[in-house]
Structure 1
Amino acid sequence: MQQQNDHPYKTWIDLAAQRLGGQALQCSDDFFAEMENLLKPAAPVFIDDKYTDRGKWMDGWESRRKRVVGHDWCVIKLGAKGIIHGVNVCTRFFAGNAPQSVSIEGCVSEIAPNDSTEWQPILIQSNVNPDSDNYFGIESQEAFTHIRLNIFPDGGVARLRVYGEPVIDWDWFLPGEPIDLAYVKNGGRPMACSDMFFSNMENLIMPNRGKDMGDGWETKRRRGGRECDWIIVKLGAKGSIEKVLVDTAHFKGNYPESFTLEAACLEPHQSPDENTEWHEVIGREKLTADSEHFYRHNIQNKGQHFTHVRLNIFPDGGVSRLRVYGFLAEKEGE
């Protein structure tokens, strides 16, 4: 399977990721290998001499050979409701037992889908290659909570990745409640960074505290060149910045010496570039190892509205999480 940094949808979030709450709910058949394997975060593996009482052990979802008319399917609850831009139906190690083709449908439901659920096509029936990554672009602009992967007629799929942008129901929040505008489930998305040699930039805005040093954003040791490393995060919505959390959990010998935080206000669909005007939100502050760092009283430009933030770390190192709390511009009469 390709490294996460190499796939064509690397700037989007895997909406079906287990750490967001993605879950395989039900399937037509998983006789040889359980449906839960589809959403495992790790790349699939193959163990040559491993068997179960049902046959060859496979690291994926695999149905038995279908001897009746029809096809197999699996229903996935997305970890975050969102607009899907691309998928990877990975058939790695399913060389002689991959499906011939697949399709994907979606729905919006507050409960687990059932026989009365109305499904909408997302990906028309398309051929897949065995033992391969199979990437498909998705053109729908609708947001979905669940998808159904159909495989024709049967076979095995190692992993399913569903890349897109979370769409939050802002009515869930109470009037005047501060919101983490950078949080992945609130629509935050990393746009670019100077380096992510050791771990992916999307970790910075994931749920909970990092579970280990690999669950954060970490750059390689900088040997000259640029003054600092940086990451740009698109906020889930335009809003003010009232308090900030920078967490260096598990980074003990490789945390940044210090950081600054800047913000910009861009038009919809506009991306930051060399001409973007950045405003200082937090001046240069020291960081310590394996700690949460809270900032409220020293926030600059409070009340001003922003769409993007840029975290600069000096000179390099690792940060586990970034939280940017503020108020929605729309709720303030803008």
Structure 2
Amino acid sequence: IDLASEFVGGKILFATDDFFAPAENLLKRDNPSFKEHEYTEFGKWMDGWQTRRKRIPGHDWCVVRLGIRGVIRGFDVDTAFFTGDHAPRVSIQAANLEEDKQPKIPQREVRTGAAATPEEFEAISELKSDDWSCLVPMTELTPGNPASSHNYFPINSQQRWSHIRLNIFPDGGIARLRAYGTGQKDWTAGDPREPLDLVTVAYGGASVGFSNAHFGHPNNMIGVGTAKSMADGWETARRRDRPPIPENDANGILLVPGCEWAVFRLAHPGVITQIEIDTKYFKGNSPESCKVDGCILTTQEEEDMVRRKWDLPGHKWKPLLPVTKLKPDEMHVLDSLTPELQNVITHAKFTITPDGGVSRLRLKGFPSSICLLRPREKPMMRFSVKAGFRANL
């Protein structure tokens, strides 16, 4: 997941200069574009962050508040279309700032052709970003030619981060900044009586397998907030094996030979008590029905299943939601089949019939403290817990 993307709430807090193009472009979800003959009153229009040529001491930099607080696995500094004016060098720093200890930063206005004011410099100085941990030392960047625009930096750190500082030396342009990683939540915080969405990317949930993602990846379904359009959901291609004239069974369920599915690793092992399925925006292409199953897998077992394309024996899956008809463009709030908080799971499989699109999937419940550090040598056990419990994390 791109933890810095505007799509998940990433935000530019400060930039030293936005003369040719504002730093907000760094966090755009879409790939950068180029308009050959388009100019602004300040110069060439560019889809990225581009500062003026430095004529005073110092270098340019910006501060990003990540949309998802989490562990960063790597950066992609993309210089696409910046060929004779790309930033020559870059470094990246990071910090994990507690919400209640962050100073108040003035609301930033996107203003091409301007530089940071003394008041903005004074406000951002309270973050002491000069002293943040260095994740990427000063490194030369390649120009934005199609074959060389992506500059990848793997990060070997297990620490959780909330903010990053991008330094360019001394000036220039960068099209996009991607901070790839996984969300991470402090599970000891919060009210233990309130159910949490255990599959959301904000806490570390992720899709680890799917049958089809022609129009949208399953990770979109577990994204932050509500969907903004069909592009924010999971949508499959139309199955080629659907019958020429579909019919229903005795229960009103469509009789079709195939289905589509997506498997998710929960952010934390837990018990699912409520399931939300939102088909918003999918009016003529929502699934006819769906079901949800869960299981317990160790890390090694998950890796084995990925290699086997999730050919997991049917008896391993425990039903969380039976086959349920779905309506177009509607939020469905459904109770799980484990109302007594009995079945702990680590993975969930969401199956739709026969195909179509879903905007959001929420698996709400309570985290459990079961340990899965070593592969099981005995048959899977059934874990029982009581309502209102607080996991000893």
TM-score, scaled to structure 1 = 0.90
Tell me what 2:205 maps to.
188
Q: Which amino acid aligns with 1:161?
A: R
| Partner AA of 1:121 in structure 2 | C
Q: CA deviation at 1:57?
A: 1.5
Measure, in 2, the Cα distance between the counterparts of 1:302 and 1:278. Answer: 17
**Higher alpha-carbon deviation: 84-93 or 124-133:** 124-133
Q: Residues 105 and 123 of structure 1 are in contact (CA less than 8 Å); yes or no, is this contact kept in structure 2?
A: yes
Of residues 51, 54, 66 in structure 1, which corresponds to 2:54?
A: 66
Residue 281 of structure 2 corresponds to residue 250 of structure 1: yes
Greater shift, 37-46 or 293-302, is seen at 293-302
Q: Between Structure 1 and Structure 2, whose CA radius of gyration is higher? A: 2
Confirm whether residue 119 of structure 1 aligns to residue 132 of structure 2.
yes
Structure 2 CA distance, aligned partners of 1:279 and 1:332? 22
1:94–1:138 Cα change, 3 Å: same
Residue pair 1:193, 1:230 contacting (<8 A) in 2 also? yes
- Could you tell me how far apart the structure 2 residues matched to 1:134 and 1:333 are? 42
Matches within 5 A, 1:94-243: 94-110=82-98, 111=102, 114=125, 116-117=128-129, 118-131=131-144, 132-224=149-241, 227-243=258-274
Q: How many angstroms apart in 2 are the aligned matches of 1:124 and 1:158?
A: 20
- Contact kept in structure 2, 1:244 and 1:322, CA below 8 Å: yes
Per-residue deviation, 1:44 = 1.6
Deviation at 1:222, TM superposition (A): 1.1
Tell me whether 1:260 sits opposite 2:291 in the alignment. yes
What displacement does 1:134 show?
2.0
Residues in 2 aligned to 1:72 and 1:101: alpha-carbon distance in whole angstroms: 11
**Mapped contact 1:241–1:303 kept (Cα < 8 A):** no
- How many aligned residue pairs are there? 322
8 Å contact 1:242–1:303 — kept in the other structure? no
Give the equivalent residue in structure 1 for 2:45.
57
Q: Which residue of 2 aligns with 1:295?
A: 334
Deviates more, 1:239-248 or 1:39-48: 39-48
For structure 2, the residue ranges without an aligned partner over 5 or more in a row are 104-123, 243-256, 306-310, 370-389
1:180-204 alpha-carbon deviations (Å, 9 max, x no partner): 1011212211122111111122210
Match for residue 359 of structure 2? 320
What secondary structure does 1:98 align onto?
A: coil
- Kindly indicate whether the alpha-carbon contact (under 8 Å) linking 1:32 and 1:57 is maintained by their aligned counterparts in 2: yes
TM-score w.r.t. structure 2 length?
0.77
Q: How far apart, in 2, do the equivalents of 1:114 and 1:303 lie?
A: 50
- Aligned-residue Cα RMSD (Å) equals 2.1
Q: Identity of counterpart residues, as a percentage?
A: 42
Of 170-179 and 241-250, the range deviating more from structure 2: 170-179
Structure 1 residue ranges without an equivalent (≥5): 1-12
Paired position in structure 2 for 1:41: 29
Aligned to 1:23: 11
Distance 1:317 1:187 in 2: 26
More deviation, 16-25/110-119? 110-119
Give deviations 1:14-63, integer Å, cap 9, x for gaps: 10121322111112222211111111222222222222222112111111
Q: Quick check: 1:282–1:299 contact (8 Å CA) kept in 2? A: no
Q: In the alignment, what sits opposite 2:74?
A: 86
The offset of 1:298, in angstroms, is 4.3
Partner of 2:381 in structure 1?
Answer: none
